[in-house]
Amino acid sequence: MATIVNNPPNDTSNPRGGMGFLLGVILLIVFMAVLFIYILPIIVQNFRGSTINIPSDINVNLKSQ
């Protein structure tokens, strides 16, 4: 006796067939844009450090009356 497997046919008539993939690609592009525009400069600034200007002359004269 033979086993017969009846696979369902591919439903290519669905108009939303690639909508999930397209939405995923768009969300990935938006996430990468946000990463490069906002988060990457903050990370680079933290590794670079801050610049502190120290004057070479400090006047500490206190005159009492």
Distance between CA atoms of residues 55 and 26, nearest Å = 51
pLDDT over 80 at 65, yes or no:
no
The residue that leads in pLDDT, 63 or 34, is: 34
The verdict on pTM exceeding 0.75 is: no
- Tally of domains within the chain: 1
**What's the longest Cα–Cα distance across the chain?**
118
- Please give the residue range of the domain that contains residue 35: 22-46
Helix (H, G, I), strand (E, B) or coil at 31: helix
Helix (H, G, I), strand (E, B) or coil at 40: helix
11-60 pLDDT tens trace = 666 666 678 888 999 999 999 999 889 888 888 877 776 777 888 888 88
22 token code pair: 């397209």
What pLDDT does residue 14 have?
Answer: 64
What pLDDT does residue 29 have?
Answer: 97
